[in-house]
Chain A
Amino acid sequence: MNLNINNLQKYYEGQPVLNIENLTIQAGSLLGIIGPNGAGKSTLIKTIAGLIKASSGSIYYDNNKFSSKIQKHMTLVFQKPYLLRSTVFNNIAYPLKIRNVERKEIEKRVIEVMDFIGIESLKNQKAWTLSGGEAQKVALARAIVIKPSLLLLDEPTANIDPNSILVMEEAIKKFHKENNSTVIIITHNLGQSKRLCKEVAFMNKGKIIEIEKTDRLFNSPKHSTTKKFIEGEIII
């Protein structure tokens, strides 16, 4: 899915938290978003997902305004995912169930995706007994099981051990490649954005300071704030 954002602004109690003049994300991109806490990263992807109404401006999805049809073709994995009070299997099956997919097909696709992420052994476990990292893997599996054309990820590997991070990155990469979907991933793990993304955007104070090919952004950032941020210096 192709995204076109124009003059997007969001205010909370008169305070601007998002102010994006122009952002175009080509179909099939794998874009990373980095930036300090409170920069507006989550607000941006929640607005793209239709969860938050922008104060002004527009977002076009393949040249269309937001609609329920578009809502069905994208998913968002939250910073702190909510799992349904049921088994891991039922969690991953839910988005298929509400799309009236046949039972046999659901079974097949859920098992496939669990395999893909390496959580087959959790199939019948109750969701509330999972560890934090396992829960995040289940949330990712649940998001990609419908093969969305836009996948939005808000720090999907925050609680995950280094080895499982690589497993999840492989899964995201493979998903991206096989489906040619657009993927946007917010991460505080700069190494992750280097490994995973073709393009990276740096956000600060509600604005996109720069968006570049990954190599470029990390090797020769144009803005001094970007440079400070990636070199681990304090920015105000």
Chain B
Amino acid sequence: MEAILEGFKNAIYLLLSFDKEIYSIVGLSLYVSLASTLISSLLAIPFGIILGIKSFKVKKIIVRGLYTMMSLPPVIVGLVIYLLISRSGPLGRLGITYTPIAMIIAQICLVTPIIAGGIYNGTKEKGEEIKNLAYTLGANKIQTLFLLIKELRVYIFSSIVTGYGRAISEVGAVMIVGGNIKGHTRVMTTTIAMLRNMGDYEMAIAIGIVLLSLSFIINSLLYKLQQED
């Protein structure tokens, strides 16, 4: 108990002293998860909406695949990406092993299905009705897509926020493809995992506090969005 309290005190001190290392770690975490969430959203929004309103032959299989991918174990994604980009892998030439780019790619693979799945669920409920309304009021295809995005905005935002929450708190994939290199690929979650192994709890708790605060902000946002509905 004492160790925790002591750690907590020192952690606050570390945060308030604007320790450079902590802020670079937090900064990289934010950068990697924001970039991956942004790219994932661009892929997932049209995909989720189109899957929700169109009916075609292999749709059932795609939906089941999507649901499976929503709960992919991060270490497996990390491992597969690692094997692809490692020097002897098929994408080894790119030379992106142990870089933030590799981490972003791994997180895109994890987060895109989560956002797409959430949007698909929302679209499945109301998409057809919205599409039909747009059609009968004279909208063209592009106007219909814009209206769908606008009307489904609550589902879209909450899916993006959920995806972001997953990205920033995930450790397995970024550890494998990023390697937790100090000043280069070290993010909040990998730092905590490492510090725990080293028995250095102060820094771990300090970063834990930042991570929790970010989680709190994300969830408050989610709650507010759901309230709006």
Contacts and interface: CB of A to CB of B under 8 A. Distances in A.
Nearest to A80: B129
Given A84-B151, A85-B151, A75 B130 contact: no
Contact of B138 (A51, A82, A98): A98
Contacts of B140: 68, 98
B71 interface: no
B77 to A, nearest CB: 35
A68 B144 CA distance: 13
A85 B126 CA distance: 12
A142 B135 contact: no
Contact of B136 (A68, A76, A84, A85): A76
A71 B135 CA distance: 8
**Most chain-A Cβ atoms within 10 A of its Cβ — which of B138, B140, B153?**
B138
B132 interface: yes
B4 interface: no
A74 B153 CA distance: 28
Contacts of A75: 136-138
**Most chain-A Cβ atoms within 10 A of its Cβ — which of B133, B137, B139?**
B137
A144 B100 CA distance: 55
Contact of A95 (B130, B132, B138): B138
B68 interface: no
A104 interface: no
A192 B142 CA distance: 38
Nearest to B131: A51
A49 interface: yes
Given A82-B129, A85-B151, A98-B143, A72 B138 contact: yes
B205 to A, nearest CB: 43
B155 to A, nearest CB: 11
A99 interface: yes
Interface string B132-172: 11011111100100010011011000000000000000000
Interface in A58-114: 68, 71-76, 78, 81-82, 84-85, 94-95, 98-99
A50 B151 contact: no
Interface residues of B, number: 17
- Counting contact residues on chain A (CB < 8 A from B), the size range is 20 to 34
A78 B136 CA distance: 10
A72 B137 CA distance: 7
A98 B136 CA distance: 12
**Most chain-B Cβ atoms within 10 A of its Cβ — which of A71, A73, A142, A143?**
A71
A146 interface: yes
Contact of A82 (B133, B150, B153): B133
Nearest to B126: A82
A74 B135 CA distance: 10
Interface in A114-167: 142-143, 146
A132 B136 CA distance: 20
Contacts of A142: 137
Nearest to A50: B135
A146 B135 contact: no
Nearest to B144: A98
B146 to A, nearest CB: 9
Contacts of B143: 98
B136 A49 contact: yes
A81 B126 CA distance: 12
A27 B147 CA distance: 32
A99 B135 contact: no
Interface in A26-58: 49-51
A95 B137 contact: yes
A73 B136 CA distance: 9
A50 B136 CA distance: 8
A19 to B, nearest CB: 23
Contacts of A95: 137-138
B18 to A, nearest CB: 43
A85 B122 CA distance: 14
A99 B138 contact: yes
A99 B143 CA distance: 10
10 contacts: A49-B135, A49-B136, A51-B136, A74-B136, A82-B126, A82-B129, A84-B147, A85-B154, A95-B137, A98-B140
Given A85-B153, A95-B137, 7 more contacts: A49-B135, A71-B138, A78-B132, A84-B133, A98-B140, A99-B138, A143-B137
